[in-house]
Amino acid sequence: MKIILITGASRGIGGATAILAAKAGYAVAVNYRRNRTAAEQVVSEITGKGGTAVAIQADITREEEVMKLFSETDRVFGRLDVLVNNAGILEPQMRLEEMDAARLSRIFAANITGQILCAREAVKRMSLKHGGSGGAIVNVSSIAAKTGAPGEYIDYAASKGAIDTFTVGLAKEVAEEGIRVNAVRPAFIYTDIHADGGEPGRIERIKASIPLRRGGLAGEVAEAILWLASEKSSYSTGIFINVSGGR
Ligand code: NAP
């Protein structure tokens, strides 16, 4: 059985990916930061249908907690085949003039440093160079990396641009060590993150300008993530799938 570790899997895109991964036959490590109840619900949904999953608390902005997340995954499952670097945060919409350093630190710690630290621990376990048997890393970026999200959250967009560059670089760095690194760029997906951005109804406001004329579902992003995680995408590395309704 293949082992998949999904960061931020208690809700939203990560939660949907955990449930779809279990259906595809993976044993799932369901990471969460604070919402234990939500993480346990994802685990129950999986185990209730005969799947294998465990919830593991860790704040990925803290290096010692990232180390604990991976050592706990080792302890429970004994190996790692796929990392989905999904955990990420958004802060209230504002222009640059209003942004302070504390906000920027929170955004970059969660969306860049945390993802890079998790990728480091995954590479140590998967790389043929380190005695691993290969694997796949799927980073969750955003279409904001391309649009820049002006007037809303250019800091968040910049953090996702960094993830795109990281995806390209790491893909080349570890390609001959049996690890593929790819990313999805979602947008306008119905999750709690828009409330964190200060506008829970954001998708309704802008959906008429989305070519497909609707918001997306977390499960639609999960499909793309799991394709990139699987051997079906075996000749792709360093690529991006936009799941953004045509934007
Ligand atoms: P969400 O519904 O707000 O869920 C966020 C998840 O990340 C939760 O499981 C949360 O855990 C976890 N998390 C946050 N900070 C964490 C940390 N420091 N350590 C560990 N876990 C942490 O968000 P979402 O919309 O599903 O977003 C998932 C990813 O998709 C993010 O990277 C986001 O930037 C990206 N994305 C989303 C959209 C969209 O339209 N929704 C568009 C583009 C990109 P708790 O439950 O414990 O708080």
| Tens-binned pLDDT, residue by residue, of the chain (247 aa) | 999 999 999 999 999 999 999 999 999 999 999 999 999 999 999 999 999 999 999 999 999 999 999 999 999 999 999 999 999 999 999 999 999 999 999 999 999 999 999 999 999 999 999 999 999 999 999 999 999 999 999 999 999 999 999 999 999 999 999 999 999 999 999 999 999 999 999 999 999 999 999 999 999 999 999 999 999 999 999 999 999 999 9
Structural domain boundaries, residue 112: 3-243
Q: What pTM was computed for the model? A: 0.98
For residue 130, the CA-to-ligand 1 centroid distance in Å is 30
Q: Whose CA is nearest to atom 34 of ligand 1?
A: 88
Please give all residues whose beta carbon lies within 6 A of any atom in ligand 1, as ranges.
7-14, 31-35, 38, 59-61, 86-89, 110, 114, 140, 142, 186-189, 191-193
Catalytic residue annotation? 156
> Measured from the CA of 13, which atom of ligand 1 is nearest?
26
**Candidates 35, 193, 196: which one to mutate for ligand 1, based on the most atoms within 8 Å of Cβ?**
193
Phi, psi of 18, deg, nearest 5 = -60, -45
What is the per-residue DSSP string for 115-184?
HHHHHHHHHHHH-GGGT---EEEEEE--THHHH--TTT-HHHHHHHHHHHHHHHHHHHHHGGGTEEEEEE
pLDDT, tens digit (0-9, with 9 covering 90-100), for 113-137: 999 999 999 999 999 999 999 999 9
For residue 219, the CA-to-ligand 1 centroid distance in Å is 14
Where does residue 238 rank: exposed (0-12), middle (13-18), buried (19+ CB within 10 A)? middle
pLDDT, tens digit (0-9, with 9 covering 90-100), for 17-52: 999 999 999 999 999 999 999 999 999 999 999 999
CATH number for the domain including 107? 3.40.50.720
Number of domains in the chain: 1
**Candidates 33, 36, 214: which one to mutate for ligand 1, based on the most atoms within 8 Å of Cβ?**
33
Phi, psi of 127, deg, nearest 5 = -60, 135
Q: Whose CA is nearest to atom 10 of ligand 1?
A: 8
